[in-house]
């Protein structure tokens, strides 16, 4: 297994790392990549040459590509595209926990290196508030469907089904979702009732929906919580919920809501811990006539209102239409990367262009926006479709304020060399950009802030991080008192009795000229004088005695 694969990096980017001669991740990459893939804000102490560009560039490329691929499938048919269903040999749809349709405090890794393929690891570590997410695929119109979660620790867990209109942070607290919690309660429309039994760490909870009978039900470790045919007398012999008429025809998406908890989700790509109820199958194996993609197009579009149905003719036309450039046309940036200087911006843009080479369907485009260049060229870059915008603060702000650069879909705000950005007076520009970016919500509206600096412990950096970041993870491998490797220490012992200056005449500069002497502070000369006076006084006293 590749060292990068252990970090959760996708095969296409691992191939790019191999092509670049990267055999092993650097320390900052090993720490930062999994954190960024997990969905949180990250502050990293990293110097030039430490591999920091890869530390943020690799996960940014991976998440942006995954999100664009899901959005492309949604635009194609309002349901799974042929490309998606072809991802598995038996025609099953590819289902993941959405990296877009989730709360700001909810972290997800759809390819955890220490779990079997097909499982997703989810986590929310706030002890004070709930955070949730929905799957990329839901079910509608028919069929019997199932997914399961395994509770990892003793936090609070609620799982169930939700429409795209349901609350992410409050599964079952509204009329658009159904929840089952670890306290042994079911919830819908804000009404909580005792159901089944409590569950916790190590338990496996099955979540099923029968769209033929119009009911939602749950199981714990294979035992049907309704009590029907399971020998479990703790249930009331009824399904957890009957789907109301107002929700008929609306797609239901697998949903998880956590408070200081972690769980593993299986949509049917991996073997079940416990078999689904009779007649049910995993969401990943649902008939394509009964599935609906969760993406920006699913919220408020005509496709969404029709339940995701489309004709084969429309599907065939969309799938084959246009070149890659035409499909990319008009895409707005999903990542903004600020650099303090033009040469650094060019190097970072080149990294994104190089590492995106193996990403297909869709490809990823990176644009360079720096001062002293033709604005018309920048406008054309944006018009052709730009997924990652790399540039200096002045040019990026000018493009945004003039309406040429749309930041409404930005997912990542990256400050590289943040200390240098602040030293050159860009704090105002940074905050101005941040204020224009979406901070939370559905689709491409969740913002991750990544801040890389030579040090994390200056007052300016800490103040900026407090303003921009939401409970960031710190990657500081060297500590507060560390000194950059480019700073060299030298200690020269000077005896004040011998000289009052440090004579550098023995050292020559580049031209061969002798360097002038450097005065010392003479502080210890006074100490020596006091010592001599004391010695003389002692000698006089001895003579008098």
The answer on pLDDT for 326 being more than 80 is no
pLDDT value, residue 249: 86
CATH of residue 224's domain is 2.60.120.920
pLDDT value, residue 39: 80
pLDDT value, residue 491: 73
Closest of 452, 448, 473, 466 to residue 104, by C-alpha:
448
Strand locations in 189-332, DSSP E? Answer: 191-194, 204-210, 215-220, 223-224, 241-242, 253-259, 261-266, 281-282, 291-293
pLDDT value, residue 100: 82
Rounded mean pLDDT, 490-494:
72
Shared domain check, 117 and 225: yes
Find the range with the poorest average confidence among 103-117, 153-167, 397-411.
103-117
pLDDT value, residue 162: 95
Shared domain check, 455 and 336: yes
List pLDDT tens digits, range 440-488. 544 344 689 999 988 777 889 999 999 998 888 889 876 555 555 555 6
Of the residues 428, 460, 476, the one at which a domain ends: 476
Is residue 297 a part of any domain in this protein? no
The answer on pLDDT for 238 being more than 50 is yes
Neighbouring-strand partners of residue 266 = 119, 148
Of the residues 262, 287, 312, the one at which a domain ends: 287
The residues, any chain, with a CB within 8 Å of residue 310's CB and separated by 6 or more, are: 77, 78, 79, 303
Query: What value, to the nearest 5°, has the Cα angle with vertex 386 and ends 380 and 387?
Result: 175
Number of independent structural domains in the chain = 2
Of the residues 432, 455, 476, the one at which a domain ends: 476
Q: What distance in Å separates the CA atoms of residue 47 and residue 495, rounded to the nearest whole number?
A: 38
Residue 349 tokens, joined: 């843009």
Q: What distance in Å separates the CA atoms of residue 524 and residue 465, rounded to the nearest whole number?
A: 44
Q: What sign results for the dihedral spanned by CA atoms 273, 277, 283, 288?
A: positive
Assess contact for 308 and 358: CB atoms under 8 A.
no
Is residue 392 a part of any domain in this protein? yes
CATH of residue 16's domain is 3.40.50.300
Is residue 451 a part of any domain in this protein? yes
Shared domain check, 187 and 111: yes
Query: Percent of the chain, pLDDT > 70?
Result: 74
Assess contact for 394 and 371: CB atoms under 8 A.
yes
Shared domain check, 98 and 43: no
Q: 101-133: buried (b, 16+ CB within 10 Å) or exposed (e) per residue?
A: bbbbbbbbbbbbeeeeebbbbbbbbbeeebbbb
Rounded mean pLDDT, 296-316:
35
Q: Which domain holds residue 32?
A: 5-69+329-476
The answer on pLDDT for 513 being more than 70 is no
Shared domain check, 18 and 98: no
Rounded mean pLDDT, 144-166:
95
Is residue 351 a part of any domain in this protein? yes
Q: Which residue has the higher pLDDT, 253 or 127?
A: 253
Shared domain check, 122 and 181: yes
Rounded mean pLDDT, 36-62:
89
Rounded mean pLDDT, 314-342:
63
Shared domain check, 57 and 98: no
Shared domain check, 452 and 352: yes
Closest of 90, 28, 64, 17 to residue 409, by C-alpha:
64
Categorize the per-residue pLDDT at 543 as very low, low, confident or very high, splitting at 50, 70 and 90: low
pLDDT value, residue 20: 93
Shared domain check, 333 and 237: no
Shared domain check, 415 and 466: yes
Closest of 30, 162, 184, 39 to residue 104, by C-alpha:
39
**Burial status of residue 43 (CB atoms within 10 A of its CB: 0-12, 13-18, 19 or more):** buried
Categorize the per-residue pLDDT at 294 as very low, low, confident or very high, splitting at 50, 70 and 90: confident
Is residue 146 a part of any domain in this protein? yes
Is residue 509 a part of any domain in this protein? no
Rounded mean pLDDT, 488-496:
69
pLDDT value, residue 442: 41
The answer on pLDDT for 330 being more than 70 is no
pLDDT value, residue 78: 45
Is residue 310 a part of any domain in this protein? no
pLDDT value, residue 125: 85
Residue 414 tokens, joined: 């990256």
List pLDDT tens digits, range 336-379. 999 999 999 999 999 999 999 999 888 999 999 999 899 999 99
Q: Which residue has the higher pLDDT, 42 or 313?
A: 42
Shared domain check, 143 and 46: no
List pLDDT tens digits, range 55-82. 999 999 999 998 887 776 555 444 443 3
The total of other beta-carbon atoms located within 10 Å of residue 492's CB is: 8
Q: What distance in Å separates the CA atoms of residue 377 and residue 384, rounded to the nearest whole number?
A: 11
Q: What distance in Å separates the CA atoms of residue 150 and residue 262, rounded to the nearest whole number?
A: 9
Is residue 455 a part of any domain in this protein? yes
Rounded mean pLDDT, 138-150:
95
Shared domain check, 263 and 139: yes
């Amino acid at each position: 297994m590749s060292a990068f694969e252990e970090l959760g990096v996708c095969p296409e980017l691992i191939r790019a790392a191999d092509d670049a001669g990267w055999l092993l991740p650097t320390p900052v990459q090993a720490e930062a990549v999994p954190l960024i893939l997990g969905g949180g804000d990250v502050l990293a102490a990293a110097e030039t040459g430490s591999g920091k560009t890869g530390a943020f560039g690799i996960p940014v490329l991976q998440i942006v590509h995954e999100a664009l691929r899901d959005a492309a499938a949604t635009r194609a048919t309002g349901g799974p595209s042929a490309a998606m269903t072809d991802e598995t040999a038996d025609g099953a749809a590819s289902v993941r926990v959405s990296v877009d349709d989730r709360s700001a405090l909810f972290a997800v890794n759809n390819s955890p290196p220490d779990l079997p393929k097909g499982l997703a690891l989810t986590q929310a570590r706030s002890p004070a508030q709930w955070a949730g997410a929905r799957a990329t695929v839901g079910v509608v119109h028919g069929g019997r469907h199932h997914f399961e979660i395994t509770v990892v620790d003793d936090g609070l867990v609620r799982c169930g089904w939700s429409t795209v209109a349901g609350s992410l942070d409050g599964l079952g607290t509204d009329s658009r979702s159904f929840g089952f919690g670890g306290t042994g309660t079911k919830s819908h429309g804000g009404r909580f009732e005792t159901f089944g039994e409590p569950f916790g760490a190590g338990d496996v909870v099955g979540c099923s929906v029968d769209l033929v009978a119009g009911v939602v039900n749950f199981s714990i470790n294979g035992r049907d919580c309704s009590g029907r045919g399971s020998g479990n007398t703790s249930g009331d012999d009824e399904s957890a919920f009957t789907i109301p008429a107002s929700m008929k025809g609306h797609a239901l998406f697998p949903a998880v809501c956590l408070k200081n908890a972690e769980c593993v989700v299986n949509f049917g790509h991996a073997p079940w811990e416990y078999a689904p109820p009779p007649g049910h199958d995993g969401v990943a194996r649902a008939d394509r006539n009964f599935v609906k993609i969760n993406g920006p197009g699913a919220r408020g579009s005509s496709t969404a209102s029709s339940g995701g149905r489309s004709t084969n003719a429309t599907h065939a036309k969309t799938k084959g239409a246009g070149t890659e450039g035409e499909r990319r046309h008009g895409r707005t940036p999903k990542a903004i990367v600020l650099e303090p200087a033009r040469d650094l911006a060019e190097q970072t843009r080149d990294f994104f262009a190089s590492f995106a080479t193996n990403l297909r369907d869709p490809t990823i485009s990176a644009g360079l926006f720096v001062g002293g260049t033709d604005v018309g060229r920048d406008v054309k870059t944006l018009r052709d479709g730009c997924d990652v915008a790399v540039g200096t603060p002045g040019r990026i702000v000018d493009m945004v304020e003039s309406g040429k650069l749309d930041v409404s879909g930005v997912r990542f705000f990256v400050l590289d060399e943040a200390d240098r950005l602040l030293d050159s007076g860009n704090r105002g520009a940074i905050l101005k950009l941040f204020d224009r970016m979406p901070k939370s919500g559905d689709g491409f509206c969740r913002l991750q802030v990544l801040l890389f600096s030579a040090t994390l412990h200056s007052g300016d950096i800490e103040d900026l991080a407090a303003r921009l970041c939401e409970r960031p993870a710190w990657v500081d491998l060297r500590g507060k008192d560390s000194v950059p490797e480019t700073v060299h220490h030298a200690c020269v012992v000077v005896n004040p009795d011998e000289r009052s200056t440090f004579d550098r005449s023995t050292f020559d500069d580049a031209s061969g000229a002798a360097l002038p002497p450097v005065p010392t502070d003479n502080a210890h000369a006074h100490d020596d004088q006091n010592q001599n006076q004391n010695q003389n006084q002692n000698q006089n006293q001895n003579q008098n005695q």
